[in-house]
A and B are shown apart, each in its own frame.
Chain A
Amino acid sequence: MTLLTVDDLVVEHRTPGRPVVRAVAGASLSVAAGEVVGLVGESGCGKSTLARAVCGIGRPASGTIAFEGRPVKPLGLRRRDRALTGVQMVFQDPYASLNPRRRVGDQIADGLRAAADTATTPADLLDRVGLPREFATRYPHEFSGGQRQRIAIARALAARPSLLIGDEPISALDASAQAQVARLMRDLAVESGAGLLFISHDLSVVRLIADRIAVMYLGKIVEVGRTAEVWADPRHPYTRALLGAIPAPDGAGVLPAELPGDVPDPAAPPPGCRFHPRCPKVMDVCREREPEFGPVACWLHEPA
């Protein structure tokens, strides 16, 4: 069952006196129940803006977002929690998402209340994220970054979401805790039948946990596919560049290939294919016409 459908979504950021930034520029994506979709792409390509739009934060300029068959309407921040408990988000910074002055058990209880769950206790949830039950009476500052992120996950799960979104949920953690927390999110989401949209710049972790992978470049999804297939046979030149930049742990001492240039300014994207100024395979058509199709948005892979 398709849980989330994002279709041709456009989201713009407007700052007075500055050009409009089209952070999401016609992106399409879906997540099914029980499925883990990894969203990857360089910093600034629009991953967070997309995730926030799915939560009802920010008003899309065009396109549609449907959650469980119903359109997602933009909501005021304050009303979000109650109206959209079906979608829960775990952010990069576990410090920012927990209230420092309240015991973690009380914060988890908020989620249980939202889901009208009287059978589960905060301690049960701590148990599920691999923390001792007695931590419920402690405050956020008493925990390490990794433990705090587990608490944020416990709180998100308490609301019984059908879609869990992690926006770089592991990148602020100690390197050694990253894979553990990512797996935990995957296991808990899949166990409860929820979908997981996992946003990360760490490709090897995404490979470890995602069923499907969506590659984003400058506001657009440029390639979607089953993780194993994309890994074995990346087709979009940008996907190839990304995977090619991952150094192999083979002991050979080979420096990874550099992708020349930076992500261009989304306020002034290049005409035609947005990747063309950095693409090693660029052709004439790429400079003029945008490849607006899937699953691989590239003129080399135009569907027949």
Chain B
Amino acid sequence: MTERQTARSEETAGNGILTISDLTVAIHGKEILRGVDLTLEQGRVHGLAGESGSGKTMTGLAVLGLLPHGARTRGRIELAGRDLLSLAPKRLNAVRGAEVAMVFQDPATSLHPMLPVGRQLTEHMRHHLRLGRAEARDRAIDLMRKVRIPGPEEAIDRYPHQFSGGMRQRIAIAVALACSPKVLIADEPTTALDVTVQAGILRLLRGLCDDLGLAVLLVTHDLGVMSAVADEVSVMKDGLVVETGPRGEVLREPRHAYTRALLDALPENARAAEDAGTESSEVEPA
């Protein structure tokens, strides 16, 4: 466990809204997470990087209680003082969607293709917040405006396929925000989008943290994205967080050799190394 000693999570402890400690997840006897420590704070974006299969998505799913069947979990996931891992399934259901929400790489994962987007927004609110029909509709229009969908009054009656990819991802974010969650887990939310559209989504996420005090766990392989919006950055490898720290420190002076390799493997750095005629690292960007 020497790797974990490089984590600097203690320094940021205190006003954490979500604290994951020593989280271990095993599926079919194989340990996928091996003692993850991670703290999210209100109004801050925590970036999570790491190579494919290192456990980023599993960490997010564990918080939502959405791990695959047969997963065995140990450790603590504390949301505002309550341990989610010891909640009864029914209580956990209430927390999920209302207090913690998730957005995925593919907006199709979050949106139902056959339902008008307005219904997908209001159904959530009517279920979790017990709002009436008219009230829910007003709030849905409001949310669509917040994620900057033009003409929200008319747009809420349209179906997902009638929007562009970038707009669908904005709507998926609106659905995630429907019940005013405290924590948003965004797993590669801009990987499928054009850079011009990505810029808008990143500004949106940053604004939601700054204005609404949302805590965001942003899983991304793109260290540029990380650099643009994350306050803290953690890096995972083989089911462990191997480095945590303020954005500038981790990206400019990575302490862990693995993080260094990750930065060297960035397309821009790999290209620069190739242009300079040197061999680039074998590690691919994760």
Question: A residues bordering B, Cβ < 8 Å?
Answer: 42-44, 146, 171, 174-180, 201, 203-205, 207-208, 228, 241-242, 245-259, 262-263
CB contacts under 8 Å to A, within B221-257, are 221-229, 247-252
Decide: B268 and A204 in contact? CB cutoff 8 A. yes
Report yes or no: A175 in contact with B191, Cβ–Cβ below 8 A. yes
- Assess whether A245 is in contact with B196, with CB atoms less than 8 Å apart: yes
**Contact call A247/B225, Cβ cutoff below 8 A:** yes
- Asked whether, in the complex, the Cβ of B164 is within 8 Å of the Cβ of A249, the reply is no
Q: Which residues of chain A have C-beta atoms less than 8 A from B165's C-beta?
A: 43
Interface residues of B (CB under 8 A from A): 51-53, 105, 164-166, 188, 191-200, 202-203, 206, 220-229, 247-252, 263, 265-268, 270-271, 275, 284-286
In the complex, what residues of B have CB within 8 A of residue A208's CB? 267, 270-271
B191 touches A256 (CB 8 A): no
Q: Is the CB of B228 within 8 A of A254?
A: yes
Given contacts A174-B52, A208-B271, 14 further A-B contacts (CB under 8 A): A43-B197, A176-B284, A204-B266, A245-B198, A247-B202, A248-B227, A249-B227, A249-B263, A250-B227, A251-B252, A252-B248, A253-B229, A255-B229, A256-B198
Once the chains are docked, how many angstroms separate the CA of A274 from the CA of B265? 37
| Min CB–CB distance B245 → chain A (angstroms) | 11
Contact B194 A176 (CB under 8 A): no
The main secondary structure of chain A at its interface with chain B is loop
A228–B279 Cα gap in the complex (Å)? 18
Chain B nearest CB from A255 CB (Å) reads 5
Q: List 8 contacting pairs A-B, 8 Å CB cutoff, sorted by A.
A: A43-B193, A43-B194, A176-B53, A201-B194, A249-B268, A250-B227, A251-B252, A255-B228
**Contacting A256 at CB < 8 Å: which of B228, B266, B268?**
B228
CA distance A253 to B225 in the complex (A): 9
Q: Are A258 and B275 in contact (CB under 8 A)?
A: no
How far, in whole Å, are A175 and B49 apart by their CA atoms in the complex? 11
Name the contact of B284 in the complex, choosing from A180, A203, A248, A256 (C-beta under 8 A).
A180
Kindly report which residue of chain B lies nearest to residue A256, judged by CB atoms: B199
A257 engages B199 (CB within 8 Å): yes
A207 close to B195 (CB less than 8 A): no
**Is B198 a contact partner of A249 (Cβ separation < 8 A)?**
no
Provided the pairs A43-B194, A258-B196 are in contact, do residues A249 and B51 lie with their beta carbons within 8 angstroms?
Answer: no
B25 to chain A, nearest CB (A): 19
Complex-state Cα separation, A13 to B238, whole angstroms: 48
Q: Complex Cα distance A247/B220, Å?
A: 13
Q: Do the beta carbons of B271 and A179 come within 8 Å of each other?
A: no
> A31 vs B245: C-alpha distance in the bound complex, in angstroms?
46
Cα distance A177–B275 in the bound complex, in angstroms:
23
Other-chain residue from A146, A176, A252, A258 in contact with B51 (beta carbon distance below 8 A): A176
| Complex interface: chain B residues within 8 A of A204 (CB) | 222, 224, 266-268
Which residue in B202, B221, B247 is a CB contact (below 8 Å) of A175?
B221
Question: Considering only CB atoms, which chain A residue lies closest to B228 in the complex?
Answer: A247
Q: How far is the CA of A245 from the CA of B198 in the complex (A)?
A: 8
Q: How far is the CB of A44 from chain B (nearest CB, A)?
A: 7
Determine how close the nearest CB of chain B comes to the CB of A149; give it in whole angstroms.
13
* Residue contact A245 to B227, C-beta cutoff 8 Å: no
Q: Would you give the shortest CB distance from B166 to chain A, in whole angstroms?
A: 8
Q: Hey, which chain A residues are within 8 Å of B166, CB to CB?
A: 43
Cβ contact within 8 Å between B222 and A175: yes
Q: Contacts A42-B197, A177-B52, A255-B229; is A248 near B224 (CB within 8 Å)?
A: yes
Report whether B228 and A242 are in contact in the complex, using a CB–CB cutoff of 8 Å: no
Q: Which of A179, A203, A249, A262 contacts B195 (CB 8 A)?
A: A203
A77 to chain B, nearest CB (A): 23
Alpha-carbon separation in the docked complex, A178 to B191 (Å):
10
Q: How far is the CA of A146 from the CA of B51 in the complex (A)?
A: 14
A179 touches B203 (CB 8 A): no
On whether A176 and B286 interact (CB within 8 A), knowing A247-B224, A249-B227, A255-B229, the answer reads yes
Complex Cα gap A176–B249 (Å): 23
A201-B195 in contact (CB<8A): yes
Shortest CB-to-CB span from B273 to chain A, Å, is 11
* Smallest beta-carbon distance A176→chain B, Å: 3
B252 contact set on A, CB distance < 8 A: 250-251
A206 to chain B, nearest CB (A): 9
Q: Which residue of A lies closest to B202 (CB)?
A: A255
Complex Cα distance, B274 from A231, in Å, reads: 15
Contacts of B251 in A (CB 8 A): 249-251
- A216 vs chain B, min Cβ distance (A): 12
Whether B164 lies near A262 (C-beta < 8 A) is yes
Measured CB to CB, the closest approach of chain A to B125, in angstroms, equals 28
Sorted nearest first, the 3 A-B pairs with minimum C-beta distance are: A176-B52, A251-B251, A247-B224
With both beta carbons as reference points, the residue of chain A lying nearest to B253 in the complex is identified as A251
Contacts of B202 in A (CB 8 A): 247, 255-256
Q: Are A259 and B226 in contact (CB under 8 A)?
A: no
CB contacts (< 8 Å) of A256 on chain B: these are 195, 198-199, 202, 228
Task: Enumerate chain B residues within 8 angstroms of A177, measured Cβ to Cβ.
Answer: 52, 284
Could you tell me if B271 and A207 are in contact, using CB atoms closer than 8 angstroms? yes
Q: Which residues of A have CB within 8 Å of B284?
A: 176-177, 179-180
Contacts of A253 in B (CB 8 A): 227-229, 247-248
